């Protein structure tokens, strides 16, 4: 499970720390283990301008959140959601899916995690928070326009 | 080192087939007993024999099997009662300890409660409760307008009793607390707490989920009003728990659930209720699980609760001593075996408990990680979660040594030592 890529992201997380400006901030917890993450999202003209985060959790949740920021920052919201879907599908695959590196980049390292149902939620914590915040940010902009 | 164990652990281990299996190619080291224990062949066979030869619904028929099943179920109640120093009729079978506690929390809030609660009344708990002995009281307070108060914790992982007289006061209607903490391992001073509750006329409810499996418990001697525990942590199957209460109190409590078996006279305009224990056993009860729980009591009784306790003290001391030698590893909870159960929560600096647990699992070692359904305790000590090892009668010194060695390997893998 503990691939080198995961350990690298865990030890040196990308885009970590809460930054301004942002549109929406959400706080998600995993009630079964107490892991938590705060995610800020800024969306501009349909592009995920920035995602920043802070949290505490295990290597899997921290590394997955770091990988997530690589995959969504600077992308169109729709493309980022495609990556989200692909990661979700991988996590639900129970180890039976060959992940697509073009779509998931470092995220492919989590294929093994999908064999451990107890850890899938860890891997999805940051993603779920990002999706929630992004949906809120998009809705907010629709309202404003 | 010579062993001071008072029973043959190797013989006991042979009764638990699972202990012979491997996990990830390594012999299983099962140290998650505070969460749930394994079941010996004798318990499984008792349940199987009952289901294969005597099973039927209870209390509802004249045919032979129905009578045999009823006899077995009630005999199980007697066995469980004897096991905790109680009378047969004062033992109510529930699904688990959680249901037993909720039963009391709902009954106390129902019309006709002998202890009506409202604004100005108080319920007292402790900061070390399992959510099962905390959330039901929060909900009861919410329903009734009563106020929930709690005893805090010392840095050493014990109850802070310095303000006991303020927290448990003339307004307190009920004091609910755990005998032994599932996360800290702390054994609480039941007599001191009961004495204070008695002074102010408050009922006491003790969560015995972590005490009954591991040490002799005599509910009458404890002087409490209500006592609850759960079968699956004491060699019985999941699905059966126990609420014990003083007879007069149980019969004064309004029912929690309505249905079959708990009634006296039923008319369309209303019903009267049976006496305890049936009063609280609406519907078809957990029949075969109760029979198995009695077999578990017999098994534990035959080994001897004093011997089991002594065995666990040896293992717990070995673990605490071992952890003390490991730089970067600390124990959450009392650091000696005095007034302490076998659950040892620990934190490895720089390694999240989930990763500790996963890496130990790779070595075949089962520990529990997380907040152990006692999130306020983690918050109190400023940790998100812990890893917890908890031994039982079938664990050995070799298991403890495997864990200690495993922790060192975890530290090495994660670059934390
Ligand atoms: C102290 C304590 N209380 C309550 C419970 C809840 O037990 P159950 O889930 O069997 O109701 C547990 C175990 O999880 C416990 O350790």
Comparing alpha-carbon positions, the chain A residue that sits nearest to B356 is: A58
Nearest CA among B384, B404, B374, B359 for reference residue B185: B374
For B297-316, the pLDDT digits (tens) are 999 999 999 999 999 999 99
Mean residue pLDDT of chain B comes to 96
User: Which atom of ligand 1 is nearest the CA belonging to B100?
Assistant: 11
Residue with tokens 């972590």: B210
Do A119 and B354 make contact, defined as CB atoms within 8 angstroms?
Answer: yes
For A129-142, the pLDDT digits (tens) are 999 999 999 999 88
Name the minimum distance, in Å, from the CA of B387 to any CA of chain A.
Answer: 11
Residue-level pLDDT at B417 = 58
Give me Rg for the CA atoms of chain A: 14
Residue-level pLDDT at B281 = 97
Which parts of chain A fold into alpha helices (H)?
Answer: 4-11, 59-72, 77-91, 101-104, 117-144
Residue-level pLDDT at A33 = 73
Least confident range of A101-105, A130-134, B121-125, B251-255: A101-105
- A110/A104 Cα distance (integer angstroms): 10
Write out chain B residues lying below 8 Å of A58, CB-based: 352-355
Tell me, yes or no, if A145 comes closer than 8 A to chain B by beta carbon.
no
- A6/B338 Cα distance (integer angstroms): 42
Do B354 and A122 make contact, defined as CB atoms within 8 angstroms?
Answer: yes
- B104/B149 Cα distance (integer angstroms): 18
Comparing alpha-carbon positions, the chain B residue that sits nearest to A119 is: B354
- In B38-170, DSSP assigns E strands to 91-94, 122-126, 147-151
- Go through the domains of chain B in sequence order and give each one's CATH number: 9-30+304-413 (3.90.1150.10), 44-301 (3.40.640.10)
Chain B interface mutation, best of A37, A58, A112, highest count of B Cβ atoms under 10 Å: A58
Asked about B378 being catalytic, the answer comes back as no
Least confident range of A33-47, B151-165, B212-226, B333-347: A33-47
User: Which atom of ligand 1 is nearest the CA belonging to B233?
Assistant: 10
Q: Are the CB atoms for B333 and B344 separated by under 8 Å? A: yes
Q: Is the pLDDT of residue B407 over 70?
A: yes
- A110/A120 Cα distance (integer angstroms): 9
Residue of B139, B257, B373, B408 marked catalytic:
B373
Average pLDDT over every residue of B16-41: 97
Average pLDDT over every residue of B172-190: 98
Nearest CA among B304, B299, B262 for reference residue B284: B262
Which of B355, B358, B370 has its CB closest to that of A34? Answer: B370
**Which pLDDT band holds residue B411 (cuts at 50, 70, 90)?**
very high
Residue nearest (by alpha carbon) to ligand 1 atom 14: B35
**Which pLDDT band holds residue B3 (cuts at 50, 70, 90)?**
very low
Q: Is the pLDDT of residue B172 over 80?
A: yes
For A36-70, the pLDDT digits (tens) are 999 999 999 999 999 999 998 899 999 999 999 99
CA distances from A26 to A57, A79, B141, B245, B299 (A): 16, 21, 30, 46, 52
Q: Are the CB atoms for B342 and A49 separated by under 8 Å? A: no
Kindly report the pTM of this predicted structure. Answer: 0.92
Residue-level pLDDT at B8 = 95
**Which pLDDT band holds residue A118 (cuts at 50, 70, 90)?**
confident
Average pLDDT over every residue of B251-271: 94
């Amino acid at each position: 499970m503990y691939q080198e890529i995961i350990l690298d992201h865990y030890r040196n997380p990308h885009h970590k720390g809460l930054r301004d400006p942002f549109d929406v901030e959400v706080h998600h917890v995993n009630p079964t283990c107490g892991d938590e993450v705060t995610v800020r999202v800024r969306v501009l003209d349909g592009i995920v301008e920035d995602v920043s985060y802070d949290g505490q959790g295990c290597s899997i949740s921290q590394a997955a959140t770091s990988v997530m920021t690589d995959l969504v920052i600077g992308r169109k919201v729709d493309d980022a959601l495609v990556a989200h879907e692909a990661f979700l599908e991988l996590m639900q695959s129970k180890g039976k899916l060959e992940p697509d590196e073009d779509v998931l980049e470092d995220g492919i390292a989590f294929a093994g995690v999908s064999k451990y149902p107890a850890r899938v939620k860890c891997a999805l914590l940051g993603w779920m928070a990002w999706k929630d915040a992004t949906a809120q940010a998009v809705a907010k902009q629709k309202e404003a326009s | 080192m010579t062993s001071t164990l008072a029973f043959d652990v190797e013989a006991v281990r042979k009764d638990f087939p699972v202990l012979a299996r491997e996990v990830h190619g390594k012999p299983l080291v099962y140290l998650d007993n505070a969460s749930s224990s394994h079941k010996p062949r004798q318990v499984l066979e008792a349940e199987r024999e009952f289901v294969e030869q005597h099973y039927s619904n209870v209390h509802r028929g004249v045919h032979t099997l129905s009578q045999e099943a009823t006899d077995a179920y009630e005999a199980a109640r007697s066995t469980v009662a004897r096991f905790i120093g109680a009378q047969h009729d004062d033992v109510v079978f529930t699904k688990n300890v959680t249901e037993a506690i909720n039963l009391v929390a709902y009954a106390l809030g129902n019309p006709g409660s002998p202890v009506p609660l409202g604004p100005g009344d108080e319920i007292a708990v402790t900061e070390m409760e399992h959510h099962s002995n905390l959330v039901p009281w929060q909900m009861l307070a919410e329903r009734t307008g009563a106020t929930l108060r709690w005893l805090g914790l010392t840095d050493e992982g014990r109850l802070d009793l310095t303000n006991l007289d303020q927290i448990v006061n003339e307004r307190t209607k009920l004091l609910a607390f755990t005998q032994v903490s599932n996360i800290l391992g702390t054994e609480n001073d039941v007599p001191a707490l009961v004495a204070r509750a008695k002074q102010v006329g408050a009922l006491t409810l003790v969560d015995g989920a972590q005490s009954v499996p591991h040490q002799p418990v005599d509910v009458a001697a404890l002087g409490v009003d209500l006592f609850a525990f759960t079968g699956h942590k004491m060699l019985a199957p999941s699905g059966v728990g126990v609420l014990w209460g003083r007879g007069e109190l149980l019969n004064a409590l309004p029912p929690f659930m309505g249905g079959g078996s708990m009634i006296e006279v039923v008319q369309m305009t209303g019903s009267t209720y049976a006496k305890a224990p049936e009063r609280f056993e609406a519907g078809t009860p957990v029949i075969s699980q109760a029979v198995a729980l009695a077999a578990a009591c017999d098994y534990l009784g035959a080994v001897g609760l004093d011997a089991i306790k002594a065995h666990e003290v040896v293992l717990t001391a070995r673990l605490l001593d071992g952890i003390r030698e490991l730089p970067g590893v600390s124990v959450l909870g009392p650091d000696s075996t005095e007034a302490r159960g076998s659950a040892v929560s620990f934190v490895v600096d720089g390694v999240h408990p989930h990763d500790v647990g996963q890496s130990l699992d790779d070595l075949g070692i089962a520990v529990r990680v997380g907040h152990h359904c006692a999130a306020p305790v983690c918050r109190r000590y400023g940790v998100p979660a812990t890893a917890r090892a908890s031994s039982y009668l079938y664990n050995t010194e070799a298991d403890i040594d495997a864990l200690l060695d495993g922790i060192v390997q975890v530290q090495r893998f994660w670059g934390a030592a």
